Amino acid sequence: MSWVNAVIQGILTGGLYALFACGLSLMFGVMKVVNLAHGDLAVVAGYVAVGIIAVTHIPAVWSFVLVVPVMAVLGYVLQRTLIQAALGRSVLTTLLVTFGLSVVIENGLLQFFSANSHSLQIGSLVSDSFSLGSQITIAYLPLVIFVVAVIVLLGLQFFLSSSKYGRLIRAVADDREAAQLSGTDYRHVFGIAAAIAFATVALAGIAFGMVSAFDPSIGTDQLLLFAFASVVIGGLGSLWGTLLGGTVLGIAQQIGAQINQSDQILAGYVVFLAVLVIRPQGLTGQRAEL
């Protein structure tokens, strides 16, 4: 029964990972940018939330109302300045710039907020749960986060496939010169895509801050790698793949923890490496188009 419990908890954790991963996937899909600062930006969102809560005294649960727009604006600005400048040069430059950004953000946070960990206090919500049978208890918080992740993915899917702006984003992703010729400023579209990606990162950062404590180093130590592992396990370029990948990663970690508490994270990486060996295109991937 504890195994079933592990799988259920894993699936719920997977929602959070998918939330982290979809921003990474979106930025790669549209701009071909692998944002190495992705995890640190989630941590930044966490710190922004802590700051906003301290100043405005709004409940932590509602902090996303302010944090998400702030991060979206940051995403647009960052894309239009640094990342766009790097994109114009080479893939190598983009990687170097985002890697540099990652190190600068992490050490900047360390400098200003120390290595102490913070968390978003949501009172009793963090431990409230309901029981299924005698063995399985499901906490509301991971369940809510999972539902939020599914809603975000559904929304993104709908936005990209059906809305006018979503079509624009797909057009620019397919062929930016052709989109430019038909009168679209692709830089602006890239900025919008980055803003959306950063908004999802903000949500993920806040959700993570509610589930557990965060400190400046966790962005690169865990978040970026989890998001990335979810993307690769699920299959590159597929939004629902990231949900599947996040879920698989979550289950692997929970089962690893079941075997030995200290093996939780390692188990996730082992599954990631196994997928890389057996099915490098990911679980939902069609072809090896990496």
Tokens read off for 216 = 């400046």
The answer to whether residues 203 and 71 touch, using CB atoms and an 8 Å cutoff, is no
CA distance 86 to 91: 8
Closest CA to 17 of 44, 47, 39: 39
Between 96 and 136, CB nearer to other proteins: 96
Tokens read off for 174 = 């397919």
Q: Give the shortest CB-58-to-other proteins separation in angstroms.
A: 31
From the number of C-beta atoms within 10 Å of its C-beta (0-12, 13-18, 19+), residue 112 rates as exposed
Q: Give the shortest CB-248-to-other proteins separation in angstroms.
A: 15
Between 87 and 149, CB nearer to other proteins: 87
Between 142 and 219, CB nearer to other proteins: 219
Q: Give the shortest CB-32-to-other proteins separation in angstroms.
A: 8
Q: Give the shortest CB-231-to-other proteins separation in angstroms.
A: 8
Q: Give the shortest CB-214-to-other proteins separation in angstroms.
A: 17
Please name the residues in contact with 3: beta carbons below 8 A apart, sequence gap of 6 or more.
255, 258
Between 63 and 284, CB nearer to other proteins: 284
- Distance, C-alpha 47 to centroid of its chain: 16
Tokens read off for 182 = 């038909």
Task: Give contact residues for other proteins (rule: CB under 8 A).
Answer: 28, 33-34, 36, 82, 85-86, 89, 91-97, 99-101, 103-104, 107-108, 110-111, 220-221, 224-225, 228-229, 231-232, 236, 262-263, 265-266, 269-270, 272-273, 276-277, 280, 288, 290
